[in-house]
Amino acid sequence: MPESPTNSSLEIVIDNTQDAESNSESDLLSELTVERTTGQEIGQDNEIDLDSEIYYENRELSYFKFNLRVLNQAKDLRHPLMERLIFLLIFSSNLDEFFEIRVSFLKKQLDFGRQRPGPDGKYPEQILKELHGQVREALDEQYRILNEDLLPSLAEEDIHFLPRHEWNDELKEWTRNYFDNEILPVVSPLGLDPAHPFPRLVNKSLNFILSLDGKDAFGRESGLAIVPAPRSLPRLIKVPSELLPKGDNFIFLSSIIHAYVGEFFPGMTVTECHQFRVTRNSDLEMTNVEVEDYAMALQGQLHRRRFGAATKLEVGMNCPSELTNFLLERFNLTEDELFRLDGPVNLQRLMALTGMLDRPDLLFPKFSPGMPPALEEGAYIFSAVDKEDQLLLHPFQSFLPVIDWVRQAAKDPTVLSIKQTLYRTNESSELVEALSEAARNGKEVTVVIELRARFDEEENIHFASILQEAGAVVVYGVMGYKTHAKMLLFVRRVGNKLKRYAHLGTGNYHRKNSLLYTDYSLMTADETVCADVHKVFQQITGMGKKIHPKLLIHAPFNLRKSLVKMIEHEELVARNGQSAHIIAKLNALTDPAVIKALYSASMAGVKIDLIVRGICCLKPGIPHISENIRVVSIIGRFLEHSRVYYFKNSTHTVYCSSADWMERNLSNRIEVCFPILKKKHISRIVDELNLYLDDRYQSWELQADGEYIELEEEASKDSDGGVQSKLLKLLG
């Protein structure tokens, strides 16, 4: 368990002024070098090569294990039935993005002959081979869960998905009318011949491949055709209650198209009809492009995303090999990249079901996020923050105070300027409205919008336009570095002086996500912190030499170096015979330099607890290497998104950040890491970390062989609902 901060003489200050930082680091490293080169035990440590590939897990394979833990939630009978279905669909969505980005990256290395092994020593060709096998097994399991578990359980709740063989005459007539009136007018069937080459099919779109017998009106006899299902049509159709009054009844669009597909080809015979879906490379490469207008250049790239190189082909289970071989050839894919599915190939479109049912009994109970008394509705937030820092943990505590703060600032005549970063925000963003209002009210509003927030690029371009029309200054960050930091800064006139206020967070300014993701928010008027936030904004929007914040640590400049330094300081404390402890709560841990420092600290006796939701390339529990390291992953109702770092012997023992311990965050993104300054907030965060470390209800523990063990198997099945339920009770 993490203990209260000590007053050890070995405490280290992460001072970001250039001279102090250099001297402090030099003194620390020289001390540590002496410690590492004296004594029998430490001499033995030096014989171990911590760069060896045997100590590192592959990033892609680790991510896929995370997605398997998500899939496992669909089997968990403790979750409400519809929530289990949602977990099943999240698995599909995650898998699509994985193939669109990470698998595409591996394939690109193969295509260009640029294979490079990672710290784990594996080459892309080997990783892809392992992944394809694991994905195939997982998809078989996913559809088994759907067909043998979830669909029968939904049927017991009078929620039915009606296959064609269950349609009665009345339903056949209704589906035929639906086909004639809703589908036939908008579908464009594509016969394949020299004048009609294989079409460019949109990423992840639902399509059908057909074998045909006979000749058409022009005497053509190609034998093959493609029927694309327009994206404007719903994939799930509810049967009117007057037809089937009992329960809720649904039919898949694919079933109706399949039933009447022959109507697209009058006078010909459809001998085979099978659904298929292709997933494509969706990454955008803009880093080194020299453009005058970045937003305009990005808009041009967005269209290409829909037609990138193929990475995965999914077909119905019974699609014959002659048709799958034809598709594989057209998409330039191999047999390993073909996946046969025992059900709809566009399964995640089932998510629409949540909006088509009124069955709250099949969902997690609704909850009301808690609200600190100082921030309750109607409170003047500047006054509350003047009195003391406010710390919120979403979704257990409401995100509305952050939105209300911007709204109040937009109307407050004492507020002179507002600066904010936006990475992702919700579709009809209240924050964009409030910032626009502030600009129209004559305040200096500057917004750093990251246009490259993956899959939100188009929306962010739209928000940028709205803000610019309102008179706000909009910048797109720094070319080559994503602006991922979550910062909000107000400048307000108080008497004859200007005073700054800041919000710093671990998650996006996204109200909807704040109800689903766990994240910390700090609202502060601390002069040093606010001055540091101002410096970071100045660096992003302007130009100049490297800045040196006093309390904030920021990437890509010194976050990795500072993290390693704090880890090494805990190691030094342990080598001097004192208690040392590190806790980190992260989405992912992949950075080799940080992992190596953690291994070294573990070897010195530092207790290290890592709460890593997703990717973890570190291997815990290796004798003499990482036996003092524990790694757990929490999977539950809310997405564990907060990043918190605890170093027992640092001057500031607790930091929160927007950054995971990944190469991309530490090297290629603008991130901020901020200390928690108030003792009561430090104690609170430590207590909350303890809850995560003690959890045995929704926790998985990583083993030395890279596999995860679900801890609930050793715990009571009727326990109190795990850490997220406890936090809801404490803070909600």
Does residue 55 form part of some domain? Answer: no
Question: What per-residue confidence (pLDDT) applies to 418?
Answer: 98
Residues 13, 17, 20, 22: what is their CA dihedral angle, to the nearest 10 degrees? 100
- Tell me the one-letter amino acid at 518: T
Mind telling me the catalytic residues?
484
120 and 152 belong to one structural domain = yes
How far, CA to CA in Å, does 732 sit from each of 56, 258, 515, 723? 39, 48, 12, 13
The pLDDT of residue 219 is 67
The yes-or-no verdict on residue 315 having pLDDT over 70 is yes
Clarify whether residues 537 and 609 are in a common domain: no
**Which of 104-113, 288-297, 470-479, 700-709 holds the top average pLDDT?**
700-709
pLDDT tier, 715 (very low <50, low <70, confident <90, very high otherwise): very low
Quote the pLDDT of residue 293: 54
**Quick one: pLDDT at residue 291?**
41
Structure confidence at residue 215 as a pLDDT band (50, 70, 90): confident
Is the same domain home to 125 and 89? yes
Residue with more model confidence, 378 or 157: 157
pTM: predicted TM-score of the whole model, two decimal places: 0.89
> Does residue 59 belong to any structural domain of this protein?
no
Report the binding-site residues for Mg(2+).
424, 454
Query: Is the pLDDT reported for residue 714 higher than 70?
Result: no
**Each residue's pLDDT tens digit, 2-61:** 544 443 333 444 444 433 333 333 444 344 443 443 333 333 445 789 999 999 999 999
pLDDT score at 267: 85
The answer on pLDDT for 82 being more than 80 is yes
Kindly indicate the confidence band of residue 194, based on its pLDDT and cuts at 50, 70 and 90: low
Confidence of residue 172 (pLDDT cuts 50, 70, 90): very high
Report pLDDT for 39: 33
The DSSP line for 685-731 is HHHHHHHHHH--SSEEEE-TTS-EEEGGGGS-TTSS-HHHHHHHHHH
Question: Same domain, yes or no, for 39 and 179?
Answer: no
Residue 679: other Cβ atoms inside 10 A = 11
- Kindly report the CATH number assigned to the domain that includes residue 204: 3.30.1840.10
Please determine, for residue 571, whether its predicted confidence score (pLDDT) is greater than 80: yes
Q: What angle do CA 550, 551, 553 make, to 5 degrees?
A: 100
> What pairs with residue 212 in β-bridges?
270
Please name which of 636, 641, 645, 639 lies closest in space to residue 723, comparing C-alpha atoms. Answer: 636
The predicted model gives 507-519 an average pLDDT of 93
172 and 318 belong to one structural domain: yes
Neighbours of 532 (CB within 10 A): 26
Domain ends where: 362, 383, 413? 362
Do both 694 and 587 map to the same domain?
Answer: yes
Structural domain includes residue 340: yes
pLDDT score of 635: 96
CB 215 within 8 A of CB 171: no
Side chain identity at 665, as an amino acid letter? N
Highest-confidence segment of 212-221, 326-335, 416-425: 326-335
690 versus 301: the higher-pLDDT residue is: 690
Residue 496 has pLDDT above 70, yes or no: yes
Pairing of strands 444-449, 473-475: parallel
pLDDT at 180 over 70: yes
My answer on whether 501 and 578 are in the same domain is no
Instruction: Let me know if residue 8 belongs to a domain.
Output: no
509, 541, 573 — which closes off a domain? 541
The mean-pLDDT minimum among 306-315, 614-623, 651-660 falls in 306-315
* Model confidence pLDDT, tens digit, residues 650-679: 989 999 999 999 999 999 999 999 999 999
Q: Same structural domain for residues 123 and 190? A: yes
Phi, psi of 636 (to 5 degrees): -160, -155
The average pLDDT across 671-699 equals 96
Binding residues for ATP: 94, 517, 613, 641
CA geometry: angle at 360 spanning 359 and 363, to 5°?
A: 105
Whether a cis peptide bond, with omega within 30° of 0, leads into 395 is yes
Whichever domain contains 380, its CATH number is 3.30.870.10
Q: Determine the 3-state secondary structure of 644 from DSSP.
A: strand
Position 284 scores a pLDDT of 64
Q: Give the confidence band of 720 by pLDDT, cuts at 50, 70, 90.
A: low
pLDDT band, residue 303 (cuts 50/70/90): low
| The total number of structural domains that make up the chain | 3
Tell me if 413 is assigned to some domain.
yes
Torsion-angle region of 612 (φ positive above 0: left; ψ -120 to 50: alpha; else: beta)? beta
- Nearest to 95, CA basis, from 330, 364, 279: 279
Give residues with Cβ within 8 angstroms of 731, minimum separation 6.
Answer: 369, 370, 393, 396, 397
Strands 643-647 and 654-657: antiparallel
601, 571 Cβ separation under 8 angstroms? yes
Q: Is residue 86 part of a domain?
A: yes
Q: 562 and 512, same structural domain?
A: no
Q: How many whole angstroms separate alpha carbon 318 and alpha carbon 635? A: 35
Q: What is the pLDDT of residue 307?
A: 67
Q: Which residue would you say has higher pLDDT here, 37 or 502?
A: 502
177 against 222, higher pLDDT: 177
Average pLDDT for 630-649: 97
Which segments are annotated as binding site?
94, 424, 454, 517, 613, 641
Query: Does 7 fall in a domain?
Result: no
Say yes or no: 669 and 536 in one domain. no
For 680, the domain range is 18-47+553-731
Cα 255 off chain centre by: 33
pLDDT number for residue 110: 85
Q: Report yes or no on 116 lying in a domain.
A: yes
Closest among 384, 363, 383, 386 to 373, alpha carbons compared: 384
Task: Return the C-alpha torsion angle 632, 635, 637, 643, nearest 10.
Answer: 50
Per-residue pLDDT tens for 521-558?
999 999 999 999 999 999 999 887 889 999 999 999 99
459 contacts: CB under 8 Å, gap ≥ 6: 427
**The pLDDT of residue 218:** 62
- Domain boundary among the residues 362, 390, 410 is at 362
Is 451 in the same domain as 491? yes
Percent of the chain topping pLDDT 70: 87
Mean of the per-residue pLDDT values of the chain: 88
Nearest to 265 by CA among 224, 321, 316, 229: 224
Of the candidate ranges 301-315, 339-353, 412-426, 602-616, the one whose mean pLDDT is the lowest:
301-315
Do 557 and 533 belong to one domain? Answer: no
